[in-house]
Amino acid sequence: MRLLMWWSGRALSSAATLLGVSVLIFAAVRLMPGGFAETVLGPFATAEQKAELATRYGLDQPVFMQYGHWLGTVAGGDFGISMISRQPVGAELLARLPVTAELSLLAVAVSVLAGVPLGVLTAVRARPGGGGAAGRLLSGLGVSVPEFVLGSLVVFVFSRYALGLEVGAWVPLTQDPARNLATMVLPAAVLSVFAVSVTARTTRDAVMGVLVEPYVTAAVGRGESPWFIVRHHILRNAAAPVVTLLGTITAYLLGGALIVEHVFNLPGVGSYIVQAVGRRDYAVVQAGVLLAAGVFIVMNVVIDLLVGVLDPRLGVTAGRRS
């Protein structure tokens, strides 16, 4: 019951955040210097176009009414019409979503499969004084190479030398899964480098925090083997911060995907937004940014539920607080 209360409270607070995000996005575009109609239609718009725009967005009404109107249409799944393609933005985003989703999922999978073991291993073998300089430098390098540098480099290497993987020839998953995967490997790899490093670092920190807990000392005292202690006592106790990180990583990957899709010329949501900004296609920018923030917020709620299941103490203490 208390848990239910807590979860609904959490959901409510996320809804508030989402609302705040929508206000910010609405305000950002609507209150742009130069005026909305001017910005959207350009300086050479006819009076007719302006009138159409005004009725469509309710520009003659007070700003908060405009916001309500906008929110209503967005909630109904109507993100407006792209100024460039003249297509509904919602449909275009939906068509491009699978590419971004596939890219992000691949990267998340890699970062969990590689980052978690790496973090556990380095934590269990850590020495006082924080490990070797080489290891620290390597893990530091992982979080320090931006996608646009690494991506450009990978594109260069793989297009200059025939290394078996094509760059820039994307194939839809539905058309040829094998070739699709072959074209996604490199972008996913580039996207996951940062995520793997962050996952490894967070896992390492979490595991090191658990290692000094008395119940670990107690397990060592019972003569359990390191592998047994890691499996039964450490993984689950260290999971909360790592799972929480996955929420943040998702947000990060959405941002990273934007760059990676641009670099590798993949037809995903990210490259769509980049193009839209370049063409001042604001309906698309609004919808894309709202989508990115929305996914992040929803993801975090899901993660919170998961963490509550993982650690029986959290639900109770959180329930007491609210």
Partner 1 sequence: MKRLDRLSLGGLACLLVLVVFALGSLAGAGGDPDAIVGPRLRPPGPGWWLGTDNLGRSMLPRVMEGVGTTLLLSSIAVLVTAAVSATFGIIAGYRGGYLNELVMRLVEVLYSFPAIVLAILVAAVLGPGQVAALASIVLATIPLMTRLVRAAAVAVSQRDYVTSAVISGARLPRVLGRHVLPNVAGTIAVQGTYALSVGIAVEGGLSFLGFGVQPPQASLGVLIQRGGTYMIAAPWLILGPGVVLVVAILAINVVGDGLRDQLEPRETRSLT
Partner 2 sequence: MSLLSVRNLVIDYAGTRALDGADLEVAHGEKVGLVGESGSGKSTLGSAVGRLLPRPARRGGGEVLVAGEPVFDLPPAGVRRLRRRHLGFVFQDPIGSLDPTMRVGAQLRLVLGRGADVNVHLERVRLDDPRVARAYPHQLSGGMAQRVAVAMAMATSPELLVADEPTAALDSQVREEVLNVVFALAADAGTSLLWLSHDLPAVARRCDRVAVMYGGRVVEHGPAREVLGKPAHPYTAALAGSAPAAAAHGARLEPVPGRPPVLTGPSPGCAFAPRCALAADRCHHERPDPVRVRDQEVLCHRAGEVTA
For the CB of residue 264, give the shortest distance to partner 2 in the complex, in Å.
Answer: 41
d(CA 75, CA 117): 41
Cβ within 8 Å of residue 181, ≥6 positions away: none
Question: How is residue 70 written in tokens?
Answer: 């906008």
Can residue 205 be called a binding residue for partner 2 (CB under 8 A)? no
Among partner 2, partner 1, none, the one that 78 touches (CB under a kind-dependent 5 to 8 A) is none
By a kind-dependent CB cut-off of 5 to 8 A, residue 312 interacts, out of partner 1, partner 2, none, with partner 2
Q: Applying CB under 8 A, does 28 fall inside the site for partner 1?
A: yes
Give the list of residues 6+ apart from residue 219 with CB closer than 8 angstroms, or none: 228, 229, 232, 233
Residue of 19, 232, 265, 280 interacting with partner 2 (CB under 8 A): 232
Within residues 200-219, the interface with partner 1 by CB under 8 A covers 208, 211-212, 216-217
User: Which of 17, 49, 66, 73 is close enough to bind partner 1 by CB under 8 A?
Assistant: 17
**131 CB-side CA count, 13 A:** 18
Cα separation of 99 and 172, whole Å? 8
Place of tokens 């979860």: 7
Site mask, partner 1, residues 159-198, x = CB under 8 A? xx--------------------------------------
Minimum CB separation of residue 43 from partner 1 in Å reads 14
Residue count at the site for partner 2 (CB under 8 A)?
Answer: 24
In the complex, the smallest distance separating the C-beta of residue 187 from partner 1, rounded to whole angstroms, is: 15
> If binding is defined by CB under 8 A, does position 217 make contact with partner 2?
yes
DSSP string for residues in 78-129:
---B-TTT-SBHHHHHHHHHHHHHHHHHHHHHHIIIIIHHHHHHHHHT--TT
Angstrom distance (rounded) from CA 138 to CA 119: 13
DSSP state of 145: S
Q: Cβ closer to partner 2: 229 or 249?
A: 229
Greatest distance between any 2 Cα atoms in the chain:
83
Q: Check binding of 77 to partner 1 (CB under 8 A).
A: no
Please tell me whether residue 136 binds partner 2 under the rule CB under 8 A. Answer: no
Contacts 24+ apart (CB under 8 A), 282-285: 282/29, 282/39, 282/40, 282/83, 283/79, 283/80, 283/81, 283/82, 283/83, 283/89, 284/82, 284/83, 284/84, 284/89, 284/92, 284/93, 285/29
Return the closest-CA partner of residue 10 out of 243, 296, 301, 248.
301
Q: Does 70 bind partner 1 (CB under 8 A)?
A: no
Piece of 45-53, 98-106, 221-229, 288-296 that binds partner 2 (CB under 8 A): 221-229
Query: Which positions touch partner 2 (CB under 8 A)?
Result: 127-128, 212-215, 217-225, 232-233, 236-237, 310-313, 316
Residues interacting with partner 1, by CB under 8 A? Answer: 16-18, 20-21, 24-25, 28-29, 32-33, 123-124, 126-130, 133, 136-137, 140-141, 143-149, 152-153, 155-156, 159-160, 208, 211-212, 216-217, 220, 226, 229-230, 251-252, 254-256, 258-259, 262-263, 273-274, 277-278, 280, 282, 285, 288-289, 292-293, 296-297
